[in-house]
Amino acid sequence: MSERAFGDRLAAAFAERGQLCVGIDPHPFLLDEWGLPDSAEGLREFGLRVVDAADGVVGIVKPQVAFFERHGSAGYSALEQILDRARQANLLVIADVKRGDLGTSVEAYGQAWLTPGSTLEAHAMTISAYQGVGSIAEPIALAQSTGKGLFVLAATSNPEATSIQTARVATGEYAGETVAAAIVKEVNAINGAAGDRVGSLGVVLGATVSADSYGISLEELAAAPSTTVLAPGFGFQGAKFAEIRTRFGPLTPVTIVAVSRGVLSAGPGRIAEAMSRAAGELSECLA
* Residue 172: CB atoms within 10 Å: 10
Set 98, 148, 185, 240: catalytic member: 98
Cα(200)–Cα(69) distance, integer angstroms: 27
C-alpha dist (Å) from residue 133 to 62, 66, 129, 252: 23, 23, 5, 24
How many other CB atoms sit within 10 Å of the CB of residue 63?
26
First to last CA, the chain: 34
- The CA R_g of the chain, rounded to the nearest whole Å, is 18
Residues 6+ apart with CB under 8 A from 208: 157, 233, 237, 238, 239
Q: Which residues contact 149 (CB under 8 A, 6 or more apart)?
A: 6, 7, 10, 94, 123, 124, 125, 143, 200, 201, 202, 228
In Å, the largest CA–CA distance within the chain is 55
Q: What one-character-per-residue DSSP string does 151-199 give?
A: EEEEE-S-GGGHHHHTSBP-SSTTTTSBHHHHHHHHHHHHHHHHT-SEE
Cα 152 from Cα 187, distance rounded (Å): 8
DSSP state of 117: T
Q: Is 214 in a helix, a strand, or coil?
A: helix
Residue 62 is a catalytic residue? no
Active site (catalytic) residues: 98
